[in-house]
């Protein structure tokens, strides 16, 4: 049985390589069949909004929108509730399939038996 993977990304375009790495790891794990939950916090919250991932560019990297869509197709994509509120992002502003949730849901996911959490 494959462990669940919870990936939390805490940065935005100011740290493009770290941002892209978090999405890459989440998408690769999802494609390999692992249950994946990708959490967007801080400035990464914007990548739950349509058009933001499409506008992100990092040379030689898989497009962020492709990675996001892989996670959405095979796992979950969550925007932190406080981060969303501070940026005035609501559920209706998100890409289809994404959700807004808070610390209690994050804690439940990372404390589940066999879960592996990574923070970028």
- CATH classification of the domain holding 49: 3.40.1260.10
Task: Report residue 112's pLDDT band, with 50, 70 and 90 as the boundaries.
Answer: very high
At 110 the pLDDT is: 98
Asked if 10 and 42 touch (Cβ cutoff 8 Å), the reply is yes
In angstroms, rounded to a whole number, what is the distance separating the alpha carbons of residues 44 and 26? Answer: 14
Instruction: End-to-end CA distance of the chain: give it in Å, rounded.
Output: 25
Residue 1 has pLDDT above 60, yes or no: no
Q: Provide the whole-model pTM.
A: 0.96
63-69: long-range pairs with CB below 8 Å, 24+: 64/19, 64/20, 64/23, 66/27, 67/20, 67/23, 67/24, 67/26, 67/27, 68/23, 68/27, 68/38, 68/95
- pLDDT surpassing 70 at residue 31: yes
Q: Which helix (H) or strand (E) holds 52?
A: helix 52-55
How confident is the prediction for the chain on average, in pLDDT? 97
Report the SS3 class of residue 43. helix
| pLDDT tens, position by position, 52-70 | 999 999 999 999 999 999 9
- Boundaries of domain holding 88: 5-119
Total domains in the chain come to: 1
Q: Decide if pLDDT at 21 tops 90.
A: yes
| Element of type H or E holding 12 | none
pLDDT digits (tens, 9 = 90+) for 70-92: 999 999 999 999 999 999 999 99
Assess whether pLDDT exceeds 70 at residue 32: yes
């Amino acid at each position: 049985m494959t462990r669940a993977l919870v990936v939390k990304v805490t940065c935005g375009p100011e740290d493009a390589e770290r941002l892209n790495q978090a999405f890459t790891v989440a998408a690769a794990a999802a494609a390999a069949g692992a249950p994946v939950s990708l959490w967007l916090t801080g400035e990464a919250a914007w990548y739950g909004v349509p058009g933001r991932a499409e506008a992100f560019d990092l040379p030689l990297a898989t497009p962020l929108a492709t990675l996001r869509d892989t996670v959405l197709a095979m796992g979950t994509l969550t925007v932190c509730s406080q981060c969303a509120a501070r940026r005035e992002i609501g559920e209706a502003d998100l890409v289809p399939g994404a959700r807004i949730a808070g610390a209690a849901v994050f804690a439940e996911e990372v404390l589940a038996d066999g879960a592996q959490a990574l923070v970028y």
